[in-house]
Amino acid sequence: MNSSIYSIAIESTAGIARHYFISSDGTFENSIRWGPLGIEYQGKEAELTVEQEQRAGEYLHKFGKYNIHTNNCEMFAWYVITGRHYSRQTQEKIHTAIGAKIVSLVQPVLTPREIVNYRYEQAIVRKFNEELEKVKLAGLKSEQAMRDDFWQKRDAKEN
């Protein structure tokens, strides 16, 4: 299945601006996208060619941190899929270009180094949560084994 560029309206802009992402099935739930936190992978992600994967991997180092006006989600999607760094919203539409420029002046974003650190933090939290779930499951199994043992002994006394 080929991946394509999709977009959804950004509600806070009354639908004037759109958020672009890459998906194999057209859903935001299974996508690759670019934003203030860097490249974000969600769900089953998108199926990319080797060349597209290389472009996605080099994007942060080639173009730098996210900027809604000069390095936005649409530019990321176009670059990964086609190799062209392009945004119709900021390069062809004057009203969205002006809005993006204004927002870029106040929007907080992470630097490339901060993005790497953020990803490490996410990996640590994910690993911690996985281990916590294992401990919880082991505790539940232990409690269930104690209950099963109690009922087996009780049933044995009655017979």
Among residues 72, 92, 109, the one where a domain terminates is 109
**What pLDDT digit, counting tens, does each position of 44-62 carry?**
878 889 999 999 889 888 8
Confidence (pTM): 0.56
Number of domains in the chain: 2
pLDDT tens column, 118-141: 777 777 888 888 999 999 999 999
Q: What is the DSSP letter of 59?
A: H
d(CA 20, CA 5): 7
| Residue numbers of the domain that contains 8 | 4-109
Question: DSSP class of residue 84?
Answer: -
How far is Cα 51 from Cα 2, in angstroms, rounded to an integer?
Answer: 13
Q: Do residues 52 and 129 share a domain?
A: no
Q: Tokens standing for 53?
A: 């994967």
Please indicate, yes or no, whether residues 92 and 122 belong to a single structural domain of this protein: no
Contact residues for 116 (Cβ-Cβ < 8 A; gap 6+): none
Question: Which residues, including other chains, have CB under 8 Å from residue 17's CB and lie 6 or more apart?
Answer: 9, 10, 89, 96, 99, 100
Residue 92 sits in the same domain as residue 23: yes
Among 151, 70, 74, smallest CA distance to 103 is for: 70
At which of 109, 126, 143 does a domain end? 109
